[in-house]
A = this chain, B = another copy of it.
Amino acid sequence: MEDLIVKAHGTPDPKIDCLDHGFVRLIDAMPRVSYGESVVTCDSAITQAARVSYGDGTKKVNEDVGLIRYLMRHRHTTPTEMVEFKFHCKMPLFVARQWIRHRMASVNEMSARYSKMPNEFFIPQPEDLRAQSTSNKQVSEGGVSLDDAEDWLCEVEEHCENAYKLYEKGIDFGFGRELARMVLPVNIYTEWYWKIDLHNLLHFLSLRCDAHAQKEIRVFGDAILELIKPLVPHVIDAFDAYHPLRGGELFSSMEVDALSKLIRGDAEVELDSDNTREIAEWFKKCEKLGIVS
């Protein structure tokens, strides 16, 4: 009998540090044990489940890798639900708030009603402060003045210290922890156990490892991806090759039309749309394809 996590990582609970005090630790996987050669990685659980659906017919035509790539390419996602991962994670509360929106997962979080929150706050490096994007209001990008950053972070550190003192003062007064914690800022660290199947995890990773995700959650996404990659290598290869938020690219019907005309020799690259944002997105894809420079 072999432990697939130990085989992949050399330890039964591999851990990657994230930000200044956070981490992701892989603590379990299903399948986890291998007898003989039948279960080489967790990928095996996917082909096993797919074969019950597709029956004998698949035996000769598809090798395991081909089957996984086929399932991923055509979004036959139910077999990937057959793989499950469990993590122990520690992250700032504002990261946890984005993370928890992924509902199809099981979570046990440290309770600020029951336990006293530890005195640990996320303080970014000055060079990690980013400017508010003007083109996409949801993201930050580009540099800011390092002097401003250092100045502000200094105040942030002091602010967190004060917040924690006020928190402790409330507890010392005998107030309920559930009340005293109201003064804590959202860069305080929390931790949880998080269990999720591979199908839902890939959805999480597609969004949270993407350039549009806030950098502070992206480091957690990247860490998770690194931890699971050796356990489901062919799935991740296919994910990177086919998913529109990874290496793949999704074209709208108007873009397919434009592409088609272009290839047939039409000189002008025009999209049948009067939406400026959509036109800008089309030009970005054209650049990627080397059509415009």
Q: In this complex, what residue of B is CB-closest to A148? A: B173
CB-defined contacts of A236 to chain B, threshold 8 Å: none
Whether A79 sits at the interface, judged by CB under 8 Å, is: yes
Whether A211 sits at the interface, judged by CB under 8 Å, is: no
Identify A132's interface contact among B81, B177, B193, B291, CB under 8 A. Answer: B177
Interface of A is mostly: mixed
CB-defined contacts of A141 to chain B, threshold 8 Å: 176
Q: In this complex, what residue of B is CB-closest to A132? A: B176
Identify A54's interface contact among B92, B100, B111, B191, CB under 8 A. Answer: B111
Is A122 a contact partner of B156 (Cβ separation < 8 A)?
A: no
Whether A10 sits at the interface, judged by CB under 8 Å, is: no
CB-defined contacts of A288 to chain B, threshold 8 Å: 256, 260
CB distance from A47 to the nearest CB of B (A): 11
- In angstroms, Cα B34 to Cα A112, docked, is 31
The number of times this chain is found in the oligomer is: 4
Q: In this complex, what residue of B is CB-closest to A153? A: B170
Q: Fill in one digit per residue for A161-199: 1 if any B CB lies within 8 Å of its CB, else 0.
A: 011001001110111111101111111000111010100
Is A241 a contact partner of B253 (Cβ separation < 8 A)?
A: yes
Is B81 a contact partner of A195 (Cβ separation < 8 A)?
A: yes
Question: Interface size bucket, A side?
Answer: 35 or more
Whether A119 sits at the interface, judged by CB under 8 Å, is: no
Whether A270 sits at the interface, judged by CB under 8 Å, is: no
Q: Fill in one digit per residue for A148-163: 1 if any B CB lies within 8 Å of its CB, else 0.
A: 1100100110011011
- Contact status of A259 and B289, CB under 8 A, knowing A152-B173, A162-B159, A185-B185: yes
CB distance from A39 to the nearest CB of B (A): 10
- Contact status of A73 and B115, CB under 8 A, knowing A78-B108, A145-B173: no
Is B277 a contact partner of A66 (Cβ separation < 8 A)?
A: yes
Identify A3's interface contact among B33, B84, B254, CB under 8 A. Answer: B33
CB-defined contacts of A197 to chain B, threshold 8 Å: 106, 195
- In angstroms, Cα B192 to Cα A195, docked, is 23
Is A129 a contact partner of B3 (Cβ separation < 8 A)?
A: no
CB-defined contacts of A242 to chain B, threshold 8 Å: 250, 252-253
- In angstroms, Cα B263 to Cα A73, docked, is 24
- In angstroms, Cα B52 to Cα A108, docked, is 7
Interface residues of A in 118-148 (CB under 8 A from B): 122, 124, 129-133, 137-141, 144-145, 148
Whether A15 sits at the interface, judged by CB under 8 Å, is: no
Q: Fill in one digit per residue for A253-276: 1 if any B CB lies within 8 Å of its CB, else 0.
A: 110100110111000000000010
Interface residues of A in 65-86 (CB under 8 A from B): 66, 69-70, 73, 78-79, 81-82, 84, 86
Q: List 5 A-B contacts (CB under 8 A).
A: A12-B33, A28-B31, A52-B193, A100-B100, A248-B256
- Extra pairs beyond A32-B33, A260-B288 (8, CB < 8 Å): A94-B112, A114-B137, A144-B173, A184-B185, A248-B253, A249-B250, A259-B259, A259-B289
